[in-house]
Amino acid sequence: MTQSPLAANPLPAPGAPLDHYVSDAPFDPYSIEKMTPEQERVFRASQLRLIWWKFRRHRLAVISAIFLLLLYFVILIVEVLAPYNLHTRNVDFIHAPPQQVRLFHEGNFVGPFVYGRDMTLDMNTLKRNYADNPNKVEKLRFFCSGDTYKFWGLFKSSFHVVCPAKGGQFFLMGSDRLGRDVFSRILYGARVSLTIGLFGVAVSFVLGIVIGGLAGYRGGWFDLVVQRIIEVLQSIPSIPLWMALAAIMPVTWSPMLIYLGITAILGLLDWTGLARAVRSKLLSLREEDYVLAAQLMGAKSSRIIGRHLVPGFMSHLIATATLAIPGMILGETALSFLGLGLRAPITSWGILLTEARSVSVIAFYPWLMFPVIPVILVILAFNFLGDGLRDAADPYK
């Protein structure tokens, strides 16, 4: 006859202490739900790492970021990369067309070189005509000594990555009405046009986030005053306002002061849109429970806005910044093209385009329109970069 389980393990008597068995092994909280190494890598990654993983899948945005990084690296060493000094004039080669870089001469490999040119003057149109002379092989020099310059205004040097042949000329993108190399001037102009966008956006972002954040978080009379100021500024046409503010700057100002003045003008005019966007976002986010918890813990308004509210719409701020920078570049280009912005001897892409104001100049010397190419490429690159960063930083995707 089989013994009952209750008989084999009798129940303890009422009131008797129960036996407890406690394991001495350390408790592993991750033993409850085991994750694969791939899952653990994702779930334990920081927010920046997650943004980077998502951003690098956007091929076009990555290519744009690399292109922009190269451009901003170039502006650091413009003097070395440019074949000529910014103000070097070649009076014998006024309005010379671009020269083609060749490698072979009469079937023999020579290396990078250009043919010398012979100039003739058309007496009917008074136009200079240039023809390549195959008997003049002008081999380019690399890592050479050429025009002297002052690197960042600190010390003199004559080192260049590429130089024309001794006694020869090298105009990769042609020359202008004073015989100055267009390619070298485009490189020098990039330093001003690209940095004016960064400084202008920095000014507009500080004003937009601070003023818009306080208006959206505080509300009340401060919000009413800010909204009325924004409405007044946005009701003024942009072009007349730019003309009035640019005319305020004295002609006796140095080029650096004019540069800073144009940057401040562009920043002061561009903060209104961002301020309204920040205000609308904070009006909805300030009612969240985590904001109330931060207030009960005694957090200041600046900390709540900077640490809890702004990161909630960081993707919108990133998209706005990447769109505002090309807007600043276009604004400076338009002002300089109209003669209201930067003035010589400062060189920017807008100033270079002033050479191509008339239709006759464009018809005879189309290479003077080359400065518009980097403007288009930079604007497209910033837009593609903004799309990638916005998608990567969006917490709802």
Tokens of 156: 């003199």
If you average pLDDT over residues 285-300, what whole number do you get?
Answer: 83
pLDDT band at 3 (very low <50, low <70, confident <90, very high): low
Return the pLDDT at 17: 64
| CA distance linking residue 373 with residue 74, whole number of Å | 16
Pick from 105-114, 325-334, 345-354: least confident: 325-334
Return the pLDDT at 274: 82
Return the pLDDT at 160: 92
Return the pLDDT at 393: 75
| CA distance linking residue 53 with residue 56, whole number of Å | 6
Cite the DSSP H helix spans in the chain. Answer: 5-8, 37-43, 47-55, 59-74, 78-81, 182-218, 220-235, 238-248, 255-285, 289-296, 301-303, 314-337, 349-353, 359-364, 372-393
8-43 pLDDT per residue, tens: 556 666 666 666 666 677 766 666 666 677 777 777
Q: What DSSP string describes 119-187?
A: EEEETTTTEEEEEEEEEEEEE-EEEEEEEEEEETTTEEEEEEEEEPPTT----TT-B-TTS-BHHHHHH
Tokens of 151: 């690197």
For the chain, the farthest-separated pair of C-alpha atoms sits apart, in whole angstroms, at: 132
180 within 8 A of 82, measured Cβ to Cβ: no
Return the pLDDT at 258: 76
pLDDT band at 122 (very low <50, low <70, confident <90, very high): confident
Return the pLDDT at 29: 64
Backbone angles phi, psi at 247, to 5 degrees: -75, -20
Pick from 123-137, 191-205, 340-354: least confident: 340-354
Residue 213 has pLDDT above 90, yes or no: no
Pairing of strands 108-122, 141-151: unpaired
Residues contacting residue 19 through CB under 8 Å, at least 6 positions apart? none
Return the pLDDT at 7: 53
Q: Cis before residue 98, ω within 30 degrees of 0?
A: no
Return the number of other C-beta atoms located less than 10 Å from residue 182's C-beta: 23
Start-to-end CA span in the chain (Å): 68
Q: What amino acid is encoded at 117 in this protein?
A: R
Q: What DSSP string describes 35-77?
A: --HHHHHHHT--HHHHHHHHHTT-HHHHHHHHHHHHHHHHTTS
220-276 pLDDT per residue, tens: 888 888 888 888 888 877 777 777 766 777 777 777 777 777 777 777 777 888 888
If you average pLDDT over residues 300-319, what whole number do you get?
Answer: 77
pLDDT band at 188 (very low <50, low <70, confident <90, very high): very high
If you average pLDDT over residues 192-216, what whole number do you get?
Answer: 83
Global model pTM greater than 0.95: no
Return the pLDDT at 15: 62
Return the pLDDT at 337: 73
Q: What is the CA radius of gyration of the chain?
A: 32
| CA distance linking residue 4 with residue 16, whole number of Å | 22
SS3 label, residue 181: strand
Return the pLDDT at 264: 78
Pick from 46-55, 224-233, 376-385: least confident: 46-55
59-101 pLDDT per residue, tens: 999 999 999 999 999 999 999 999 999 888 988 888 889 999 9
| CA distance linking residue 357 with residue 136, whole number of Å | 35
Residues contacting residue 65 through CB under 8 Å, at least 6 positions apart? 385, 388
State how far Cα 226 lies from the chain centre: 29
Place of tokens 């407890």: 20
Residue 4 has pLDDT above 80, yes or no: no
Residue 126 has pLDDT above 70, yes or no: yes
Query: CA of 287: how far to CAs of 226, 290, 291, 294, 298, in Å?
Result: 21, 9, 7, 12, 16
If you average pLDDT over residues 171-187, what whole number do you get?
Answer: 91
pLDDT band at 187 (very low <50, low <70, confident <90, very high): very high
Residue with the bigger pLDDT between 66 and 290: it is 66
Pick from 83-87, 104-108, 342-346: least confident: 342-346
Mean pLDDT of the chain: 82
Query: CA of 28: how far to CAs of 10, 25, 32, 34, in Å?
Result: 35, 9, 8, 10
| CA distance linking residue 215 with residue 278, whole number of Å | 9
